[in-house]
Structure 1
Amino acid sequence: MTTNAPGAASPAVLRYTAFSADPAGGNPAGIVLDAAGLDDAAMLGIAAEVGYSESAFLTPAPDSASASASGQAGRAYDVRYFSPQAEVPFCGHATVAAAVALAEHGAGAGDFVFSTRAGTVPVTVTDADGAPRATLTSVEPHVDEVTAADLTEALASLDWPADDLDPALPPRIAYAGARHLILAAATRERLADLSYDFERLAALMRRLDLTTVQLVWREKDLTFHVRDPFPVGGVVEDPATGAAAAAFGAYARELGLVPAQSELTLHQGADMGRPGVLTVNLRDGDAKVRVSGAAVRIEG
């Protein structure tokens, strides 16, 4: 990639929130619909200036074989995601926000193909009663064990006693485009009380190549409340995390915590004053995970 030509105007940055139909809820993302001509430093600079947990940078893709094969020629984009401090391989909330932004800025509802650093991510935008909603399909997920030493360090960084974990939801590292350490709280009170050692947790996350730590409390069979510390991105907490939701869906299915064909509801952001809802769909016989949510433009 090359940087902007000397004297070129800065690209327009749209601001959308994902996983809420209320601009005051969900997770805000910066969106650049045509990032052609921006180099890594320029994208990182824009993301830092915007200040959200992530910003998405889209470049219209040529009619690649993958786009043509899926019937999406002309609706395919290369997408990169930057936090204020670093690039991340995949970001779910910025994907949902970017797809809705595309639909509202001329493309219309329908199917898109996003080529990300994590792989190809199909996204579908629907418009029911004037409320746009996007559904992303994850890359192939997997779930890994976490070592006892790394779990001990994570709990120490969070200041969580081991007895505060829910033994029915064992710790794991799950991936569906990015890696997330999943830790389940035994009570809603434990989840609500989040005060952690920012630098210590960030160091562990960098060593384990984690994007967030997903903290979970199970309200009932298919309903969960989640929080996502994100110190490696320079952010204390992410308000609604689509990539972690996809990873959690894969985790819940692999460990037999939910039926193989399920729709999970994840509530996130309420503890930050930005409530949002993420819908996770699991299909029997299909390892990939679908994450859906509303998105709306933030004015200003």
Structure 2
Amino acid sequence: MRPPRQGEVRVMQVTIVDAFTQTPGAGNRAGVVLDAAGLDAAAMQRIAAAVGASETAFLLSPPGESLVRLRYFTPTDEIDFCGHATVATFHLLAERGLLGRSGTYRLECAAGTLDVELEPVGAKGSRVWIVTPRNPFLESPVPVEQVMALVGGTAAMVDPSLPVRRNAHRLMIPLRRQADVWELAPKGGALAELLAPHGVKGVYVFTRETREAGSVAHSRYFVPGLGVAEDPVTGSASGPLGMYLASHGVVALPAGGGTVRARIEQGDAIGKPGRVEVEVTGSAGQPERARIGGVAVTVLEGTLRA
């Protein structure tokens, strides 16, 4: 793709994909641009804002190569990594026959180079498995009482048996009950203002009280610092949550080392249910790696003038 001339309007092909679901309208919606090699950051940001999904992924490498280069933009900012937009992109590449339905690939993004595996599901689909970036779990830089007040809850909702932690640009807060998670109604502007001086963009709340027997946690994610009031289903947070739960014995790893799988629920509270499979590898209380897995469904293909 040649670079655009100054002032030129380009017609871009954009595909809308719902990730972590096979039901259109559920899960987490992503925009995918497969022909983005000639776009600069300003153009990608304009496209992401026009698409309006929580994230849009831009493919910079030629389709069909084993090394897949992506950049991710919310409607207001570029981010290092996005789980659901990665699932959406690899789903689309496999669906179009540009990648095999099974196989191993490498993802290159601002967060680093990550391993990706495609696993066949059903007659035509694939589950996308992604090794998520690993970041340390730190003490919260702000009092949890202040945070809970601004997400529309109280400190009494917090589960005292698990710690509040910061991981990358998010706070992870365990709550006692699913009803508490559903009750929250954040004050986005005030929450962003509280968190911004500490480099925190959002609050990820979860509970061990789930809707389905096979799940290990039920969650919501508010990200006002990135222009996203609520992210429906968050792969980039689900991997760290798997690591967190394994560190505290909620997900039980073998004493001698091994791999376990669990499922995280998200999106139900806003009518967009999605399910993230999480695979954690390590030994009891000492997780070493997490992968997230998800399916997707293509919803809409069209053109965008940007």
TM-score range, shorter chain: 0.7 to 0.9
Alpha-carbon displacement from aligned partner over 1:222-241 (angstroms, at most 9, x marks no partner): 52110001212222111100
- 1:257-296 CA-to-partner distances (Å, cap 9, x unmatched) read 3213432211111111111100111012562210001111
- The one of 184, 209, 213 equivalent to 2:199 is 209
Residues 57-206 of structure 1: matches in 2 within 5 Å? 57-60=58-61, 74-105=65-96, 106-109=98-101, 110-129=103-122, 130-147=124-141, 149-175=142-168, 179-206=169-196
Number of equivalences: 286
Q: CA RMSD in A?
A: 2.3
Note the alpha carbon deviations across 1:173-215, whole angstroms, 9 max, x for none: 124xxx3211111111111112111111112333333343111
Assess if the C-alpha contact under 8 Å between 1:212 and 1:244 holds in 2.
Answer: no
SS at match of 2:196: helix
| TM-superposed deviation, 1:33 | 1.3
Shift of 1:153: 2.6
Which residue, 251, 264, 267 being the options, matches 1:266?
264
Deviation readout 1:73-102 (Å, 9 max, x if unpaired): 932122111000111111110011111111
Q: Partners of 1:294 and 1:96 in 2: how far apart?
A: 7
**Matched residue SS, 2:148:** helix
Which of 246, 262, 272 is the matching residue for 1:253?
246
Amino acid across the alignment from 2:260: S
User: Could you tell which deviates more after superposition, 38-47 or 124-133?
Assistant: 124-133
Note the residue ranges of structure 1 that are not aligned, 5 or more in a row. 63-72
The 1-side partners of 2:194 and 2:14 are apart by 33
Segment drifting more, 42-51 vs 110-119: 110-119
Moved over 4 A (4+): none
Give the alignment's TM-score, normalised by structure 2.
Answer: 0.86
Q: Distance in 2 between matches of 1:61 and 1:283?
A: 32
1:284 aligned partner:
282
Instruction: Find the residue that maps to 1:299 and give its secondary structure.
Output: strand
Shift in alpha-carbon separation, 1:75–1:186, aligned structure 2, 3 A: same
Greater fraction of residues in helix: 1
One-letter amino acid matched to 1:187: R
Residues 9-66 of structure 1 show CA distances to partners (whole Å, capped at 9, x for unaligned) of 332111111100111210000011121111111001100000010001111179xxxx
TM-score by length of 1: 0.88
Counterparts of 2:52 and 2:9 in 1: how far apart (Å)? Answer: 23
Worse-matched range after superposition: 286-295 or 250-259: 250-259
Q: Which residue is equivalent to 1:69?
A: none
Change over 3 Å in CA distance of 1:247–1:209 after alignment to 2: farther
Aligned mates of 1:241, 1:22 — CA distance in 2: 17
Partner amino acid for 2:67? A
Structure 1 CA distance, aligned partners of 2:67 and 2:30? 20
CA apart distance, 1:135: 0.7
Structure 1 SS opposite 2:161: coil
Match of 2:224 among 222, 231, 247: 231
Residues 90-149 of structure 1 deviation map (CA, whole Å, 9 limit, x = unaligned): 1110011111111122222222211111111222122222232111011233211114x4
